[in-house]
Amino acid sequence: MKKPLVVLLVTMVLSFSYGLQPSFNLGLGWSYLKPEGYDGSHFLGIGVGTIAPYSKYVGLMASVFWVQFDLSEEGTILGISSRVGFIEMIPNRYASPFFTQSITLDHIAGGGLSYTAFGLGIGLGIEFLSRSNIRPYMAGSFAYASTSMDGLSSSAIGLGAGGGVRFSW
């Protein structure tokens, strides 16, 4: 078990020494979730994530923690979401378009409702490059998930849009 971790650590250190910088994201976003057979909900959320580049063009991305508040209901419904996947970047002088593919996990609870979704997501976005270590970005996403709500299974679609800043070191 130690050997794979050491190899991963050495690979990351060597990659970062060639100018590849990991980043830490802070974001704000809107999302819409529509389970099959139920009304959809609008959410406003804040989140944190990270990107670990493998090359100038490809990296691993994770939305580590995304807290969402339901805007559609009278009561308070809190959602927690995470995504893990790949990001493909097209470096440019002023902006870097990117494309993501991810595995999604969402859990929403409150107002007598409990909802869990596991699915696949894709996204598009653009990061505005600068000479500083702080770079703004905007993105949109689509997800299809298998869901479980109050013991019933179905499917759901999700749409999202948002933006934020990336801090690199």
Domain 20-168: CATH architecture, name and number where available: Beta Barrel (2.40)
Q: How far is CA 103 from the centre of its chain?
A: 9
What's residue 70's pLDDT? 79
How many other β-carbons are positioned within 10 Å of the β-carbon of residue 62? 17
Distance (Å, rounded) from C-alpha 52 to C-alpha 12?
A: 8
Reading the chain (169 residues) residue by residue, the pLDDT tens digits are 567 666 655 665 555 545 567 888 999 999 888 878 777 788 888 989 988 888 888 998 988 778 888 777 655 667 788 889 999 999 888 899 999 999 998 887 776 777 788 999 999 999 998 888 889 999 999 999 988 877 778 888 889 999 999 998 7
What's residue 140's pLDDT? 95
Contact (CB, 8 A) for 83 and 60:
no
Helix (H) or strand (E) holding 7: helix 2-17
What's residue 17's pLDDT? 47
